[in-house]
């Protein structure tokens, strides 16, 4: 639909459909906003305005050499909401997008634009293990993933693409998701992994949230185990956690009917 310029003069591609209260979707690492194709029509048809955008380095947005840390990415999200002057927003973030939503709320929530947040399989509270966070993954495993990507990212995608979906997902759908992931430059993938994903620690951010929060997570998620989402919800006062027992990482696609029902019900139940 157009481009939004950030304070750092980076152009972010965005799409804007429908009318009504806005729902802003934030995709995962290595995914352009096309990944929300199977969700936008449902919400627009029910009287909501849907905004999606490509984060820097993804899709049709500019590809700068820097700015792939979580604070800058949250600032880019702030630019989207400001430039479109969105208010009464429902933020929906998947995986790293969920982490961006949390950091945005911690840094810019006082602007009062966001009414509620939905975190879908979020990379939160913290992805990697630390002395005071034994629940995280081994940092050596995270680095091993990056090393594999440097050598053969296409091969890694081919081996892991079905794990994003379910056994019932068609080969065509799985291949579509793989193509979207492969469209992101390897440089960007590695920069985001180092600067935002493995470096994040959202525990204090989550404790400070003061708005309705819904966390949705698939029990079969191999990318971000459901224990992370449950821990994130446990740090937010009044947050609701929903586990999808037969879902993996891409629950908003593979379990779209339930996802739509849960998110719409959350929006309705938290309306002013």
Question: Catalytic residues, which ones?
Answer: 95, 221, 249
Strand positions, DSSP E, the chain = 2-5, 11-17, 22-26, 49-53, 89-94, 114-120, 213-218, 240-244
CA dihedral 244, 245, 250, 253 (to 10 degrees): -60
List all residues 6 or more positions away from 60 whose beta carbon is below 8 Å from its beta carbon: 13, 32, 54
Q: How far apart are CA 154 and CA 148, in angstroms?
A: 10
**Using only C-alpha atoms, what is the Rg of the chain?**
17
- SS3 of residue 121 by DSSP: coil
Q: How many CB atoms lie within 10 A of CB 143?
A: 14
Tell me the CA distances in angstroms from 65 to 62, 69, 82, 100, 266, one per residue in order.
Answer: 10, 12, 24, 19, 38
């Amino acid at each position: 639909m157009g481009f939004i310029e950030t304070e750092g003069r980076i152009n972010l591609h965005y799409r804007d459909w429908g009318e009504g209260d806005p729902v802003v979707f934030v995709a995962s690492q290595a995914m352009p906003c096309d990944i929300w194709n199977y969700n936008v029509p449902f919400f627009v048809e029910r009287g909501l305005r849907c905004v999606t955008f490509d984060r820097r380095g993804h899709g049709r947005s500019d590809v700068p050499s820097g700015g792939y840390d979580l604070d800058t990415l949250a600032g880019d999200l702030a630019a989207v909401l400001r430039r479109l002057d969105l208010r009464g927003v429902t933020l929906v973030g998947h995986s790293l997008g969920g982490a961006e939503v949390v950091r945005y709320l911690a840094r810019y929530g006082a602007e009062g634009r966001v009414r509620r947040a939905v975190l879908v399989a979020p990379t939160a509270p913290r992805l990697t293990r630390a002395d005071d966070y034994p629940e995280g993954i081994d940092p050596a495993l995270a680095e091993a993933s990056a090393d594999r990507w440097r050598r053969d990212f296409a091969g890694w995608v081919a081996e892991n693409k079905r794990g994003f979906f379910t056994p019932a997902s068609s080969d065509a759908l799985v291949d579509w998701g793989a193509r979207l992931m492969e469209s992101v430059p390897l440089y960007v993938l590695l920069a985001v992994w180092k600067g935002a994903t493995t470096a994040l620690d959202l525990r204090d951010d989550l404790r400070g949230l003061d708005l309705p929060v819904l966390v949705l997570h698939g029990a079969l998620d191999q990318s971000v185990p459901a224990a992370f989402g449950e821990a994130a919800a446990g740090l937010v006062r009044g947050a609701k956690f929903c586990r999808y027992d037969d879902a993996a990482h891409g629950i908003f696609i593979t379990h779209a009917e339930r996802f739509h029902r849960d998110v719409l019900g959350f929006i309705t139940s938290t309306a002013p």
